[in-house]
């Protein structure tokens, strides 16, 4: 029986109790959210020991870090290091998007040591397996695609992105309206090329029940991918994107009927003022299923700083109801991220998620901010460093420029420290 | 005659025409905004050659970079270098907040070479001059404070932050409600201590007309400082802050009556969901005067990353109507920023301002994003780098990890490049 089935049966599953404890909410409340499909706990039946991470309504906003090789950079130890660094920096989940080198080995290594849910995009598996047999992905059969999914399911993958909504109808709508950047999702473009080459419908749409059978058997959370997400501001919220989202809404209900947990993936590149509408549309069209967004990036012109463009978009999205933020690193649009980029990306996403938790009124979300304010009032630098999201970076910055006369202050204000002056100015009774 | 006087007289001042040309808007429209107080062009009568930078309604959001020494770090060449780097990175204005070392010399050097408006907080001048005579600022007379203003006016400072709203009434309200962090503005705390020690009203409030006389004579834009801005989320939008803002609204009208241009300074540390209300309150209470915000920082717990916490808050503030963003560097709360921190802070603020320009519907704001999208579609890396906000950083990242097989792609996706696949997938007529 899947977690969704057990949650619906009314008895409290053990992982729901544990996740609720971690969130500081009533277990029964979380059970109800999961039963209604408005929250998920991704966990493959084969992976018993991971931290149960709940994603969805009324919960702290969670963040995901992508790791994984490409054909150009296929260093397994680097990707394992990125996984460790991401988790240490606070990632709630990790996706292995490896497409180059020994991808089976990499995935299994990550699954073996990663303490949080692991996701994948299994269509890359089929493409890689085809490439290793000297074939193009357009030559794959639907069976080949499902073999890729089954292999990863068997390995224990907890959630899988599958681009089921890239249908022939959605693609023809994309062509009719026209786009600046067509398809920027690797999985989406790969399926679109397969469909164009073979003159067939998307196999994951056409044989969606076969996908659900696998997810049900392994208790995998299906993450319905947004293969037609906008790749630039100009393409945001266009008809192709909305068409795909409506399809994902229908597929959400079919998954729920089969006791399979679902998340919905969302954009992408979106102007600031369209983000709230995107979230509301997803929540309505997909009947409250958790929303997993990539960014959104609020401008296209900041390569090298896309962790910042997406921290802005992610904070606004999460404030408006998005539940799960996929990080973006400073390397986005430029190269495979370095280990340091991964760390920076996770911290930027955590800032966005935390700011949104406060705005959403998650109980206790501001407690650490309050303790930081108190530490600042006391000029207690040890506590300030410890309460920082990234103590190592904060410590390094302060210790690289220590005050010379009065160690209670910092070199920004020195003798003009407003905290000190304000203690003299305001003498309380 | 001040610029405000000339704009009201109906004839088009030359600097308004130049600023309008830079913005791509009708000069008459900008003249009207300035005449109504809803836009300003800060420029001291003594500084003829600077770029006219217009700040306010219907204009691109502008950004300011703070530079300047403290007693602990007083290296004039470093601050000049920060000024150059800030302007090169796109700062529309620079504030010299020097409080240590030869501050007269530093200010004059910055004014001599900075091509954009320069602002100061002249109360630091009086405090520094007192310190150099072995006195505390609490021993200063109102005349001493005004001498500091006059000295800086004579040097050519274009806009001045003066904390006129830190009144005895506002402070008693602060004490009555209670705060976690009392006063975090250096100028605000200094004045509060002076008032407490001397048992007198804020001299810049009590003798506000004297300040306006100087601003009028030199055509200085007064930036009414928020001395009681919140220093942590918990203190945001409290009664002391709102009380001060109401006073600033009254002082705005008095400045307008004397033909003096005014901006209003705003917080600070503000939770995401309170930012729009803060902007709307300022616009209403200050009758549309331009709003100049510091951050806002949307969480207190990210020292080392406060350029990101304030890019989030700044984007939301500017989207909701804030006109001028004061940058925050990664060093905030930890140390005087380095040259590299200044650069990073400016870029983060530009991202926020640009994202807001798009959301506000500033004509042409998305043009560069569109060209970037087109360059991405063409896999034209030269154009992508050139269109980046920070080409040097983008180039460095890409060239540090060049693709090995196909130079048209990047090492993120390599052979699975979605742009390439999508060209094959979508064959247009």
Q: What is the pLDDT of residues A324-371, one digit of tens each?
A: 999 999 999 999 999 999 999 999 999 999 999 999 999 999 999 999
Max Cα separation, chain B?
Answer: 81
Mean pLDDT along residues A48-76: 95
Mean pLDDT along residues B377-390: 97
Contact across the interface for A308 and B309, Cβ inside 8 Å = no
Task: Compute CA distances B339 → A84, B89, B329, B347, whole Å.
Answer: 32, 11, 10, 13
Chain A (237-266) residues lying within 8 Å, Cβ to Cβ, of chain B: none
How many beta-carbon pairs under 8 angstroms link A with B? Answer: 399
Contact across the interface for B234 and A373, Cβ inside 8 Å = yes
Tokens of B162: 């003066």
Rg (CA), chain B: 23
Burial class of B405 by CB neighbour count within 10 A (0 to 12, 13 to 18, 19+): exposed
Task: Compute CA distances A127 → A131, A187, A190, A256, A356, whole Å.
Answer: 6, 10, 9, 29, 37
Distance from CA of B100 to the nearest CA of A (A): 9
Does residue A12 lie within any of the structural domains? no
Closest Cβ–Cβ partner in B309, B359, B425 for A271? B359
Query: Which pLDDT does position B428 carry in this prediction?
Result: 61
Residues of the domain holding A384:
367-425
Query: Which pLDDT does position A153 carry in this prediction?
Result: 98
Do residue A371 and residue A332 come from a single domain?
A: no
Which residues in chain A touch residue B376, judged by CB atoms under 8 angstroms apart? 181, 231-232, 300, 333
Q: Mutating which of B271, B334, B407 best tests the A interface, going by the most A Cβ atoms within 10 A?
A: B334
* Per-residue pLDDT band at B337 (split at 50, 70, 90): very high
Do residue B375 and residue B342 come from a single domain?
A: no
Any B CB within 8 A of A131 CB: yes
Do residue A266 and residue A411 come from a single domain?
A: no
Do residue B350 and residue B270 come from a single domain?
A: yes
Please give the Cα distance from A136 to B227 (Å, whole number): 65
> Which residue does chain A place closest to B195, by CA atoms?
A425
Query: Which pLDDT does position B429 carry in this prediction?
Result: 47
Q: What is the pLDDT of residues A166-219, one digit of tens each?
A: 999 999 999 999 999 999 999 999 999 999 999 999 999 999 999 999 999 999
Q: Residue A194 CA to chain centroid, in angstroms? A: 26
Mean pLDDT along residues B338-364: 97
Mean pLDDT along residues A108-126: 96
Distance from CA of A74 to the nearest CA of B (A): 10
Query: Which pLDDT does position B125 carry in this prediction?
Result: 87
- Sequence-distant (≥ 6) Cβ neighbours of residue B245 within 8 angstroms: B165, B226, B264, B266, B281, B282, B285, B286
Please give the Cα distance from A379 to A407 (Å, whole number): 10
Any A CB within 8 A of B364 CB: no
Any B CB within 8 A of A382 CB: no
Q: Which of A313, A338, A360 is the last residue of a domain?
A: A360
Please give the Cα distance from B60 to B318 (Å, whole number): 10
Instruction: Output the DSSP codes for A196-207.
Output: HHHT---HHHHT
- Which 3 state secondary structure label does DSSP give B120? strand
Chain A (332-361) residues lying within 8 Å, Cβ to Cβ, of chain B: 332-338, 347-348, 351-352, 354-356, 358-359
Q: What is the pLDDT of residues A86-110, one digit of tens each?
A: 999 999 999 999 999 999 999 999 9
Higher pLDDT, B426 or B344: B344
Q: Mutating which of A60, A72, A370 best tests the B interface, going by the most B Cβ atoms within 10 A?
A: A72
Does residue B21 lie within any of the structural domains? no
Does residue B258 lie within any of the structural domains? yes
Please give the Cα distance from A321 to A398 (Å, whole number): 36
Query: Which pLDDT does position B132 carry in this prediction?
Result: 87
Mean pLDDT along residues A376-386: 97
Please give the Cα distance from B4 to B257 (Å, whole number): 10
Mean pLDDT along residues A110-117: 97
Residue B253 has pLDDT above 50, yes or no: yes
CATH number assigned to the domain comprising residue B258: 3.20.20.540
Do residue B338 and residue B398 come from a single domain?
A: no
Do residue B385 and residue B350 come from a single domain?
A: no
Distance from CA of A265 to the nearest CA of B (A): 17
Does residue B7 lie within any of the structural domains? no
Do residue B419 and residue B332 come from a single domain?
A: no
Please give the Cα distance from A88 to A395 (Å, whole number): 17
Task: Compute CA distances B326 → B28, B48, B50, B348, whole Å.
Answer: 28, 24, 19, 11
Please give the Cα distance from A346 to A94 (Å, whole number): 11
Any B CB within 8 A of A366 CB: yes
Q: Which of B360, B383, B417 is the last residue of a domain?
A: B360
Distance from CA of B86 to the nearest CA of A (A): 17
Query: CB count, 10 Å around CB of B49?
Result: 6
> Which residue does chain A place closest to B411, by CA atoms?
A335
Closest Cβ–Cβ partner in A305, A370, A394 for B351? A305
Query: Which pLDDT does position A335 carry in this prediction?
Result: 97
Burial class of A311 by CB neighbour count within 10 A (0 to 12, 13 to 18, 19+): buried
Count of domains for chain A: 2
Interface pTM, i.e. ipTM: 0.97
Closest Cβ–Cβ partner in B308, B352, B401 for A336? B401
Q: Residue B172 CA to chain centroid, in angstroms? A: 29
8 A C-beta contact, residue B110 and residue A427: no
Tokens of A406: 């009065």
- Which 3 state secondary structure label does DSSP give B268? coil
Any A CB within 8 A of B105 CB: no
Does residue A200 lie within any of the structural domains? yes
Which residues in chain A touch residue B307, judged by CB atoms under 8 angstroms apart? 308
Any B CB within 8 A of A383 CB: no
* Per-residue pLDDT band at B49 (split at 50, 70, 90): confident
* Per-residue pLDDT band at A428 (split at 50, 70, 90): low
Any B CB within 8 A of A419 CB: yes
> Which residue does chain A place closest to B398, by CA atoms?
A334
Do residue B186 and residue B324 come from a single domain?
A: yes
Q: What is the pLDDT of residues B169-207, one digit of tens each?
A: 999 999 999 999 999 999 999 999 999 999 999 999 999
Distance from CA of A161 to the nearest CA of B (A): 16
* Per-residue pLDDT band at B167 (split at 50, 70, 90): very high
Q: What is the pLDDT of residues B93-108, one digit of tens each?
A: 999 999 999 999 999 9
Any A CB within 8 A of B78 CB: no
Indicate the average pLDDT of chain B. 96
Say if residue B268 is preceded by a cis peptide, omega within 30 of 0.
yes
Please give the Cα distance from A51 to B166 (Å, whole number): 51
Share of chain B above pLDDT 70, in %: 100
Contact across the interface for B397 and A131, Cβ inside 8 Å = no
Do residue A333 and residue A383 come from a single domain?
A: no
- The bridge status of strand B55-56 relative to strand B39-40 is antiparallel
8 A C-beta contact, residue A324 and residue A61: yes
Closest of B116, B114, B118 to residue B51, by C-alpha = B116
Do residue A142 and residue A238 come from a single domain?
A: yes
Does residue A23 lie within any of the structural domains? no
* B412: phi then psi, degrees, rounded to nearest 5: -65, -50
Does residue A11 lie within any of the structural domains? no
Residue matched to tokens 């040309």: B21
Tokens of A257: 């009927």
Do residue B350 and residue B396 come from a single domain?
A: no
- The bridge status of strand A291-294 relative to strand B55-56 is unpaired
Does residue A50 lie within any of the structural domains? yes
Please give the Cα distance from A79 to A59 (Å, whole number): 29
Tokens of B403: 């693709």
Residue B319 has pLDDT above 90, yes or no: yes
Contact across the interface for A301 and B190, Cβ inside 8 Å = no
Contact across the interface for A312 and B307, Cβ inside 8 Å = no
Share of chain B above pLDDT 90, in %: 96
* Per-residue pLDDT band at A149 (split at 50, 70, 90): very high
Q: Which of A307, A325, A360 is the last residue of a domain?
A: A360
Do residue A169 and residue A279 come from a single domain?
A: yes
Contact across the interface for B414 and A99, Cβ inside 8 Å = yes
* B233: phi then psi, degrees, rounded to nearest 5: -55, -35
Residue A429 has pLDDT above 80, yes or no: no
Please give the Cα distance from B228 to B171 (Å, whole number): 8
Burial class of A36 by CB neighbour count within 10 A (0 to 12, 13 to 18, 19+): middle
Query: Which pLDDT does position A129 carry in this prediction?
Result: 87
């Amino acid at each position: 029986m899947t977690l969704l089935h057990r949650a619906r049966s009314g008895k409290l599953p053990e992982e729901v109790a544990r996740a609720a404890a971690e969130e500081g909410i009533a277990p029964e409340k979380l059970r109800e959210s999961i039963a209604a499909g408005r929250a998920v706990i991704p966990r493959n039946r084969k992976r018993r020991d991971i931290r149960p991470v709940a994603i969805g309504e009324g919960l702290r906003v969670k963040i995901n870090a992508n790791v994984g090789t490409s054909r150009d950079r296929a260093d397994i130890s680097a990707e394992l290091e990125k996984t460790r660094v991401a988790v240490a920096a606070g990632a709630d989940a990790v996706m292995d998007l490896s497409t180059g080198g020994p991808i089976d080995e990499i995935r299994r290594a990550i699954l073996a040591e990663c303490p949080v849910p692991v996701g994948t995009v299994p269509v890359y598996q089929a493409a890689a397996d085809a490439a290793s047999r000297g074939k193009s992905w357009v030559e794959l059969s639907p069976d080949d695609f499902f073999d890729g999914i089954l292999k990863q399911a068997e390995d224990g993958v907890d959630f899988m992105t599958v681009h089921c909504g890239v249908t022939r109808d959605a693609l023809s709508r994309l062509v009719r309206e026209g786009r600046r950047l067509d398809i920027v999702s690797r999985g989406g473009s790969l399926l679109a090329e397969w469909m164009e080459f073979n003159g067939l419908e998307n196999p994951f749409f056409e044989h969606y029940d076969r996908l659900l059978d696998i997810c049900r058997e392994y208790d995998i959370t299906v993450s319905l991918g947004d293969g037609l997400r906008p790749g630039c501001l100009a393409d945001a919220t266009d008809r192709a994107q909305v068409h795909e989202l409506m399809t994902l809404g229908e597929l959400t209900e079919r998954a729920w009927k089969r006791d399979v947990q679902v998340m919905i993936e969302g954009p992408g590149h979106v102007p600031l003022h369209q983000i709230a509408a995107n979230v509301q549309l997803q929540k309505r069209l997909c009947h409250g299923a958790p929303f997993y967004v990539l960014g959104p990036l609020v401008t296209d012109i900041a390569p090298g700083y896309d962790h910042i463009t997406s921290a802005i978009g992610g904070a606004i999205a999460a404030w408006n109801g998005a539940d799960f933020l996929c990080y973006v690193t400073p390397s986005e649009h430029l190269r495979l991220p370095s280990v340091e980029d991964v760390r920076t990306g996770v911290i930027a996403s955590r800032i966005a998620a935390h700011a949104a938790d406060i705005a959403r009124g998650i109980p206790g979300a501001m407690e650490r901010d309050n303790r930081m304010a108190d530490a600042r009032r006391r000029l207690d630098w040890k506590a300030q460093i410890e309460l920082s999201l990234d103590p190592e970076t904060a410590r390094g910055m302060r210790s690289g420029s220590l005050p010379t006369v009065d160690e209670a202050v910092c070199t920004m204000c020195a003798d003009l420290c407003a905290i000190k002056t304000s203690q003299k100015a305001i003498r309380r009774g």
